Amino acid sequence: MSAVPRSAMADPIPAGAGVGLKPEHYQHILKTRPAIGWFEVHAENYMEAGGPPHHYLSAIRSMYPLSVHGVGMSIGADEELDQLHLARLKAVCDCYQPGLVSEHLAWSTHEGTFFNDLLPVPYNCQTLQRVCSHVDQIQSTLKRQILLENPSTYVVFDASEMSEVDFIKQISERTGCGLLLDVNNVFVSATNHGFDPVAYIDEFPIERVGEIHLGGHSVDADDTGRTLLIDSHGTQVVDPVWELFRHVVRRTGRCPVLIEWDNDVPEWESLHMEAIRAEAILHREGARHAVA
Amino acid sequence: MPSLDQVQREFASAIFHASRPVPAGVGSNHGGAANKRFAVYRNNVVMSLTDVVAAFFPVVARLLGGDFFRATARAFILERPPASPVLTRYGAELPEFLSEFRPVTDLPYLPDVARLEWMQQRAYHAANARPLTRADLSHVEPDEVPRLCFLFHPSAQIQRSRFPVFSIWRTNTFDEDVKFIPAEAAGEAVLVSRVGLEVKALLLDPGFYTFFEALMAGVPLGEAAMEASREASAFDFQKALAALLDLGAVYGHGAS
């Protein structure tokens, strides 16, 4: 395992609830300074030279810890990482000094086309080598540990030779990266592929989890009429995902947890309520973890 | 076993060709066809990028209307997908695409409306720079004024259209009851710039476009004003200079 320093910079992310920062809420946050632990932004939304996004994010960053979540690095691609994009990610990190930096176990760019979606990878040795090499490059360029997020998936590959948890565990062991456990993604993939989400959590290398994500999903059906869940981030977190989150917190204890709500963004109060609910669960289940 | 490159090549190709079957080796744990599963990826790609285009080109979206806009956006996305994960820069090619896209030929002003909206999108994200104020110019000796050259703010851009592009954009952006603007009405020129955090668009008087275009090319103030007066006898130098300063369109000056 390579030695990568954890976030060496100022303002670590507190082990409490935060929310994804949306432009719709910039002014409300600056005006009311809500009681919330931290914010997370998508790195790609802050890669331009100037203008209002940087203005508002700088102001909010001066009041709250910040986490940077990349959505375009295409870590799971067979092709080489886009060095220009990696330099942009580094520039965002240098500018905003985030407490955590995370990316996805997915690919999104192929031969010069960016698909703007988190596409799945087969879990085998070849993919593992590529992903590990990409995570190594990112961590050495950023000079810090990143967290890698488990995906929501809708299909499986014949070319997969190991379980998702095994695959993720090996990436973390080989690269020293931390993990971002998206509980909604576990629930979505478990439903779509027919595995037990609690067993997934129990096998997950929980000691490497640096952050948890919670979000909403939508419900569809596959060709056979079986329920197909879609990770849409456009609604509240559903009860079974809260239940799974309680189970996670009993294993992790208090931990940074983020509410993601990226589409049909609600009024600040609705988003904040979700964070308060997450905070309450952290408080109660985290205490049980402490005495366990 | 297929290589990762092969898996991703086939996956990528099937996303953009809805008529192609789900790639071999991609399926469901439960057996049966995986068409609807794979369609989630196809939909995510097109729908999310359609939302991006709609956000950057709200007037184009409004002029085309719901289904027609979505079909046009889909054709654009499939023909000219993003080349970078920085989606704030996606859409630069929409005006050119619209000028060649046959179903919209009945709306000949549409590419220019798209150009105006794209200028505003660029202005929103342009680098910050403190604009020049009247006070900055107060120390300039009167006889030096004609020899002044301006540096334009990174957000400042101009457009001249043979269509009433500003009027079309304005009524569709601000008016509760959208006015009818005849496409054959006189063409219009526009200056777009960011003032503080706000992107502004200004309809230009006769001669202003020529004046600003010359200044942007580094022509000194006096010569640029003469060019503008030659084109439009009513050209108002003081008003044009005031417009530049009010819109924060210049951030530095020097002498030629």
Tell me the pLDDT tens digit for each residue of B199-235.
999 999 999 999 999 999 999 999 999 999 999 999 9
Which residues of chain B are within 8 Å of residue A109 when distances are taken between CB atoms? 85
Q: Which of A48, A71, A222 is the closest to B28 by Cβ? A: A222
The single residue listed with the structure tokens 């005031």 is B242
The single residue listed with the structure tokens 């001669």 is B207
Question: Where does B126-256 sit in CATH, by number?
Answer: 3.90.930
Q: Tell me how far apart the alpha carbons of residues A277 and A143 are, in angstroms, rounded to a whole number.
A: 35
Contact A135, A177 (CB under 8 A): yes
Q: What is the pLDDT of residues A179-208, one digit of tens each?
A: 999 999 999 999 999 999 999 999 999 999
Which residues of chain A are within 8 Å of residue B29 when distances are taken between CB atoms? 156, 193-194
Q: Tell me how far apart the alpha carbons of residues B146 and B218 are, in angstroms, rounded to a whole number.
A: 13
Buried b (16+ CB within 10 A) or exposed e, A37-47: bbbbbbbbbbb
Amino acid at B121: Q
The single residue listed with the structure tokens 């729908």 is B47
Q: Which of A74, A116, A121 is the closest to B45 by Cβ? A: A116
Put residue A122 in one of left, alpha, beta given phi > 0 → left and psi -120 to 50 → alpha: beta
Q: Tell me how far apart the alpha carbons of residues A103 and A101 are, in angstroms, rounded to a whole number.
A: 7
Domain definitions of chain A by residue range: 17-291
* Residue B203 bridge partners (DSSP): B190
Q: Tell me how far apart the alpha carbons of residues A128 and B147 are, in angstroms, rounded to a whole number.
A: 64
How many cross-chain Cβ pairs, A to B, lie less than 8 Å apart? Answer: 156
Put simply, the answer to whether A114 touches B84 (Cβ < 8 Å) is yes
Contact A216, A271 (CB under 8 A): no
Contact A175, A135 (CB under 8 A): yes
Q: Tell me how far apart the alpha carbons of residues A8 and A30 are, in angstroms, rounded to a whole number.
A: 27
Instruction: Classify residue A140 by burial, with Cβ atoms within 10 Å: 0-12, 13-18, 19+.
Output: exposed
Helix (H, G, I), strand (E, B) or coil at B121: helix
Question: Is the domain A17-291 a CATH 3.20.20.150 member?
Answer: yes
Which residues of chain B are within 8 Å of residue A154 when distances are taken between CB atoms? 37-38, 40-41
Q: Which of B1, B4, B197 is the closest to A130 by Cβ? A: B4
Contact A49, A95 (CB under 8 A): no
Domain definitions of chain B by residue range: 1-107, 126-256
Instruction: Classify residue A80 by burial, with Cβ atoms within 10 Å: 0-12, 13-18, 19+.
Output: exposed
Q: What is the pLDDT of residues A152-187, one digit of tens each?
A: 999 999 999 999 999 999 999 999 999 999 999 999
Q: Tell me how far apart the alpha carbons of residues B127 and A36 are, in angstroms, rounded to a whole number.
A: 31
The CA distance from A279 to the nearest CA of chain B, in Å, is 31
Token pair, residue B50, equals 């359609």
Q: What is the ipTM of this complex?
A: 0.94
Which residues of chain A are within 8 Å of residue B51 when distances are taken between CB atoms? 263
pLDDT computed for residue A290 by the predictor: 63
Q: Span A208-225, mean pLDDT?
A: 97
pLDDT computed for residue A1 by the predictor: 38
List the Cα angle A12/A13/A18 in 5-degree steps: 160
Helix (H, G, I), strand (E, B) or coil at B204: coil
**Smallest Cα–Cα separation from A237: which of A229, B51, A28?**
A229
Supply the mean pLDDT for chain B: 96
Q: What is the pLDDT of residues A83-124, one digit of tens each?
A: 999 999 999 999 999 999 999 999 999 999 999 999 999 999
The CA distance from B106 to the nearest CA of chain A, in Å, is 31
The single residue listed with the structure tokens 């914010």 is A39
Put residue B208 in one of left, alpha, beta given phi > 0 → left and psi -120 to 50 → alpha: alpha
